[in-house]
Amino acid sequence: MRGIFFKENFWSTDITSTIGYDTLLQHMNDGRKNCKEFEEFLKERAAIEERYGKDLVNLCKKKPCGQTEINTLKRSLDGFKQQIDNIGQGHIQLAVTLREEAKRMEEFRERQRAERKRIETAMDNIHKQRQLQYKRTVDSRKAYEQRCREKDEAETNVSRCNKNNMNQKQQDKIYAKLAHSKVMAEDADKTYQQNIIQLDKVREDWQKEHITACMFFENQEWDRINYYRNAVWTHVNQLSQQCVTIDGMCEEVRRALEGCSIEKDIEHFTEGHRTGDKPPAPIPYENFYNNQRSTTPVIRRGPLQTPSTASDDNAYASVGDFNVYQ
């Protein structure tokens, strides 16, 4: 149960003062400004989310990520890029949601401003009436006091006239002035009283309008604080939901990576790109000189013949076509 109300705490003993109303009005304008600041905050956050989301989407489109991988790891990386793209799309969608929230905040702020305009107009009018009637009352009081002083002065002159010997013409003039001053004083008194009554009526009307304005401002402040609080609450809930969504996408990537088999990927690559199962034979050492001999032609001779002696020359012996000197 509330125990403090605007209508009980924003008064002033000075009938011409507007300090209570001015304080409330300034607070309401500050509240409107604060709503505007949160609205701008949401718009800036939306721009950040949109820019970040588009950067992620473009990253997935333009930058390769393991484009030559094969088999299970390739499927995992494809899923990874898809989820990053989904995360980017999620940020873009969050930007749209934040702009919608900012629009709702703007509509709420402008609706309160329009509703408050009616109260402000009424209060401005009653303040002007009060100020004008107060001025009339003060002026009539000054006139009344002046007429009373003039009447007192005339009565004093009459008393002096009775004590002094004055001719009839002077006495008539003094008595006429007294009579006139009494009439003027009575008229001034009547005008002053009428202005006091009218001022009191204006004061009562102003107090009623002031109470109405205080109650209206208080209700608006309740609505504003409640709406502002709920708007921030909704905003952080949206951010939390975004984190949950992103974590779900990351979980999909983790599941895809769990399905990645190192053994299967190696087998898949080996079976698809094998070049043979036999290594080359050892390379033997080759001696340079052995290589030279092997390049010279070899002439094979047959068995030697038995030497024979010519009958006409005992100094020579011949073998085949060769002659040997003895």
Tens-place pLDDT, residues 193-220: 999 999 999 999 999 999 999 999 999 9
For residue 212, give every residue at least 6 positions away whose Cβ sits within 8 Å of its Cβ, in sequence order, or none: 119, 122
- Residue 324: the pLDDT is 45
- Identity at 166, one-letter amino acid code: M
Closest residue by Cα to residue 231 from 60, 30, 34, 25: 34
**Nearest residue to 265 via CA among 68, 65, 63:** 68
What is the rounded CA–CA span in Å between residue 43 and residue 41? 5
109 close to 293: Cβ distance less than 8 angstroms:
no
DSSP at 325: E
Enter the DSSP assignment of 314: T
C-alpha to C-alpha distance for 222 and 188, rounded to whole angstroms:
50
Note the pLDDT tens digit of each residue in 144-163.
999 999 998 888 888 777 66
Beta-carbon contacts of residue 102 (< 8 Å; ≥ 6 apart): 39, 40, 42, 43, 46
Burial (CB < 10 A; 0-12, 13-18, 19+), residue 71, is middle
Q: What is the pTM of this model?
A: 0.73
Ranges assigned E (strand) in the chain:
308-309, 316-319, 322-325
Q: Quick check: 140 and 192 in contact, CB under 8 A?
A: yes
Q: Ramachandran region of residue 186, left (φ > 0), alpha (ψ -120 to 50) or beta?
A: alpha
In whole angstroms, give the CA distance from residue 83 to residue 163. Answer: 117
Point out the residues of the chain with pLDDT beneath 50. Answer: 1, 298, 309-313, 315-317, 319-320, 322-326
Rounded Cα gap, residues 81 and 87, in angstroms = 10
DSSP string across 49-114: HHHHHHHHHHHHHHS-SSTT--HHHHHHHHHHHHHHHHHHHHHHHHHHHHHHHHHHHHHHHHHHHH
Residue 163's pLDDT is what? 65
Nearest to 178 by CA among 163, 164, 161: 161
Q: CB–CB of 268/73 below 8 Å?
A: no
What pLDDT sits at residue 326?
43
Q: Is there a contact between 88 and 57 (Cβ–Cβ < 8 Å)? A: yes
The CB density around residue 215, as the number of other CB atoms within 10 Å, is 14
Task: Give the whole-angstrom CA distance, residue 61 versus residue 55.
Answer: 10
